[in-house]
Structure 1
Amino acid sequence: MSGLPPSPTPYMILGEAAPLGARPSTPFAQPSMPPLEAFRPYLEQIWSSGRLTGCGPFHEQLETALEHYLGVENLALTANGTIGLLLALNAFDLDGEVITTPFSFVSTVHALRWSRLKPVFVDIDPLTGNLDPSAIEAAISPRTRAILPVHCFGHPCDTTAINEVADIYGLKVIYDAAHAFGVSVSGRSILSHGDASVLSFHAAMPFTCGEGGAVVCADPRVKRRIGRLRNFGLVGTTTVAAAGINGQMSEMHAALGLLQLAQFDHAIVRREQIAGRYRAALADIRGVRLFGVGPQWRSNHGFFPIAINDEHQAGRNQLYERLMDQGIEARRYGFPLASETPVYRDLPSARAELPHARSLAKQILCLPLYPCLPDATVERIIALISEG
Structure 2
Amino acid sequence: MNFKYIFYLLFITSINAFAQKTQVQLAQNSLGKLQVSISKKEDIKQQLSIIGEGIKAIELAENDKKTKNWPETWAVKAYLSSYIALVDGDNNADKHFILATDALEKATTLDKFQANSSLIKAATYNINIKKQNEGNKMFMQNDFTNAFNYLKQVSDYLPKDTTLAVNVGICAQNIQLYNDALLYFKRAKDNGVRNPIVYQNMANIYASKFDSEAAIKTLEDGLAVNPYHPFLTNDYINLLLDNERYDKATKIIEGSIITDKRNKLLLFLYGYLQQSQLNNKSAAELAYQKALDIDRNYFNALYQLGLIYINNANEALKSKETKQFISHINRAEFILQRAHEINLNDKNTLQLLIEIYTRKNRLDRVQEFKRKLNEF
The interval holding the TM-score normalised by the smaller chain is under 0.3
**Whose relative contact order is higher, 1 or 2, with alpha carbons under 8 Å and at least 6 apart?**
1
Question: Which structure: greater strand fraction?
Answer: 1
Question: Which structure: greater helix fraction?
Answer: 2
| Structure exhibiting the larger radius of gyration computed from Cα positions | 2
